[in-house]
Amino acid sequence: MNKDTEIDMKDVELNELDPEKQPMTGDGQAAGGEKNGSVKLKVPEDEVTFTGLSKEELMKVAGTPGWVRTRWVLLVLFWLGWVGMLAGAIVIIVQAPRCKPLPEMNWWNEGPLYQIPDLAAFADGMEGVTEKLDALNQLKVKGLVLGPLHTVQANEPTTLELETVDPKQGKAEDLVTLLEKAHKKGISVVLDLTPNYLGDAPWFNAAGTEEVIEKVKAAAEHWLSLGVDGIKLSDLTIPASSLEWSKLQAVVQGNRTEDTKKRALIGVVESRSAAEVSQLVNTTGVDLVVSDLLSSGNGGKERIKNIDTLHSQQRSLGWGLGAAQLDQLSTVANSSSLIRLYHLLLFTMPGTPVFTYGDEIGLQKVQGEKYPKMIWDVEKEPAEGADVSEAAEAQRKEQASVRKWFRSLSDLRGKERSLLHGDYYPLYSSPSSLAFLRVWDQSDRFITAVNWGEQPETLTLSLAPTEGVELPETATVKLTADKTVSLDKLTLEPGEAILLQFPYTG
């Protein structure tokens, strides 16, 4: 080939487009006679496919000494690990503290009882009470104690009609509506059937007691059949000593099974010692005894002694201040600080707190009134521009603050097992102050410390040697302030009450 021919061939090669630079339109031929966009792959003619080892080959390999030793090592390690985990689980279960079995709790132990002796003063009658159920539910009230509502003339047993509602209080059909709506909110309703509630002696005279109790029994059957959850009786010692008492008990407390709601038989006693109250709990068979022990004995040493005597029977005890007489708490506590103090005391004592309507705001009687008119909407701010005196507004704010305190304590008691049904230990007492400890198993522990005196007092807390229970050096103040205080010497100002909390440490 000559030189010119070589140059011409080079020109031809340079003029041909590089296949990578040709447009991929699918039209025309690519270099080598292939269409644009298609790729040819060459598959090696001698490609080898891996099919694994045959059974004979696997058996031959598995039988070698190395694999036999490896399998044995893995098997031993597996069983050693399994046994180790089992042993560890057993050790954890054995060493873990056992939970204390929960005591039997009934609805009257789960929250405060709220007495409304005069429905007209409380909310203009039965229909008004129904309308206020939401407000009572906010207070975590577990039971309403209504009345007495029946008709009777003072000291006139012949006019006693225990199955007829006094028109001033409402109508029987309104009571049925109240029962239905209260039950939907988890609130039980108890009727006070104290016969001669307007007279001098609750059971008239001794000569006709048996006949009166027979009427009470018939009335209890009537109201319970309509959905009432319990019966309350004043001056418990009189009916409890009657021959008809067991029949009345059978009507209220009979036919109790695990899957039915229990009906409560509640008795009230006044001017009785703690030992006598304890005996009544044991001998009368009532579900709850409400006494006036806190009102009759107002010294710290006396009060702590009464609690010491009765705390083991806490699920059958109702504590109140003025409640036994259907009086407001303000008849004993004449300031907002003392109202708060007794709220704290009642909600943390071992037993069921019992209040009379208005106690949640410190409602006070007007002179000459038997039952004061309830004040509502204390938490509602006055309308802008409304003509409200400074004194009235200050009172409203204070009542709202007291209600908030009441609601917080009621909520806390319902959540904390130590306060709901915990054990009780005295820590300190003096003529004007006291302190005690509430403990339940592995739950948080609480110390109540109150000083209703007129002077500051330093409380030296002391716990008798008790297995598994010790006082820490410090505790946290609950509800009022987020701070820690030393328990070495606890100083309270006049009228001050604090609730201290510390954890279970195991």
Q: Is 122 left (phi over 0), alpha (psi -120 to 50) or beta?
A: alpha
- Same domain assignment for residues 300 and 364: yes
Other beta carbons less than 10 A from residue 443's beta carbon: 17
Strand blocks (E) in 32-142: 113-116
Given 382, 415, 448, which residue is the final one in a domain? Answer: 415
Sign of the dihedral defined by the CA atoms of residues 312, 317, 323, 329, in that order? positive
pLDDT at site 46: 57
Residue 290 sits in the same domain as residue 354: yes
Burial track 475-491 (b if 16+ CB lie within 10 A, e otherwise): beebeeeeeebebeebe
Q: Full-prediction pTM beyond 0.85?
A: no
Q: Is residue 30 part of a domain?
A: no
User: Does 442 lie in the same domain as 402?
Assistant: no
CATH code where residue 450 lies: 2.60.40.1180
375 and 446 belong to one structural domain:
no
**Is there a contact between 328 and 340 (Cβ–Cβ < 8 Å)?**
no
Query: In this predicted structure, what is the pLDDT of residue 53?
Result: 67
Listed residue (253, 243, 167, 155) closest to 204, CA to CA: 155
262 is written with which tokens?
A: 């229990």
69, 197: one domain: no
Is 161 within a domain? yes
Number of domains in the chain: 3
- Count of CB atoms situated within 10 Å of the CB of 350: 21
Dihedral sign of CA atoms 70, 73, 77, 78 in order: positive
Between CA 154 and CA 82 the distance in angstroms is 81
Q: Give the span between the Cα atoms of 127 and 120, in whole angstroms.
A: 10
339 Cβ contact list (under 8 Å, min separation 6): 329, 330, 333, 359, 362, 402
Identity at 241, one-letter amino acid code:
S
Which amino acid is present at 225?
S
CB-based contact 432:300 (threshold 8 Å): yes
Q: What is the 3-state secondary structure (H, E, C) of 191-235?
A: EECCCCCCCCCCCCCHHHHHHHHHHHHHHHHHHHHCCCCEEEECC
- Give domain status of residue 27, yes or no: no
Q: Which residue from 349, 356, 371 is spatially nearest to 450, judged by alpha carbons?
A: 349
Alpha helices in 380-424 (DSSP H): 390-415, 417-421
pLDDT of the residue at 454:
94
Cβ partners under 8 Å of residue 6, min gap 6: none
User: Is 35 inside any structural domain?
Assistant: no
Same domain, 236 and 283: yes
pLDDT of residue 466: 86
- Residue 246 domain-assigned (yes or no): yes
Give the residues across from 476 on adjacent strands. 484, 501
Tell whether 328 and 220 lie within a shared domain: yes
- 231 and 190 housed in the same domain: yes
CA gap 330, 462 in Å, rounded: 32
Q: Which residues contact 96 (CB under 8 A, 6 or more apart)?
A: none
CB 136 within 8 A of CB 144: yes
In this structure, are 146 and 210 located in the same domain? yes
User: What residues form DSSP beta bridges with 266?
Assistant: 232, 288
Do 86 and 123 belong to one domain?
no
Q: What is the reported pLDDT for 428?
A: 97
Domain end call among 415, 443, 461: 415
- Residue 304: which CATH number? 3.20.20.80
Residues 437 and 474 in one domain: yes
For residue 337, is it within any domain?
A: yes
CA pair distance 377, 397, nearest whole angstrom:
11
**227 in the same domain as 249:** yes
Strand partners, 116: 146
Range of the domain at 498: 426-502
Q: Please report, for the chain, how many H helices and E strands are present, in that order.
A: 16, 18
CA dihedral 34, 36, 38, 41 (to 10 degrees): 50
Closest CA to 251 of 214, 284, 281, 278: 214
Residue 50 included in any domain: no
pLDDT tens for each residue of the chain, 506 residues long:
444 544 454 454 444 444 444 554 444 444 444 445 454 555 555 555 666 667 777 777 777 887 788 888 888 999 999 999 998 888 877 766 677 888 889 999 999 999 999 999 999 999 999 999 999 999 999 999 999 999 999 999 999 999 999 999 999 999 999 999 999 999 999 999 999 999 999 999 878 899 999 999 999 999 999 999 999 999 999 999 999 999 999 999 987 777 789 999 999 999 999 999 999 999 999 999 999 999 987 799 999 999 999 999 999 999 999 999 999 999 999 899 999 999 999 999 999 999 999 999 999 988 888 999 999 999 998 888 788 888 999 999 999 999 999 999 999 999 999 999 999 999 999 999 999 999 999 999 999 999 999 999 999 999 998 888 999 999 999 987 778 999 998 999 999 999 999 999 87
- The reported pLDDT for the residue numbered 60 is 72
* DSSP, res 363: -
Is residue 490 situated within a structural domain?
yes
The token duo for 367 is: 């002179």
- Residue 51: predicted pLDDT: 67
Cβ(324)–Cβ(291) under 8 Å? yes
Nearest to 286 by CA among 206, 231, 244: 231
Alpha-carbon distances of 306 from 288, 311, 373, 450, rounded to whole Å: 17, 8, 33, 16
Last residue of one domain, picked from the residues 415, 446, 462: 415
Instruction: List 267's β-bridge partners, or say none.
Output: 233, 289
User: How many CA atoms within 13 Å lie on the side-chain side of 77?
Assistant: 6
Which residue is listed with tokens 């500051």? 456
The DSSP symbol for 35 reads: B
The helix (H) or strand (E) run that includes residue 479 is none
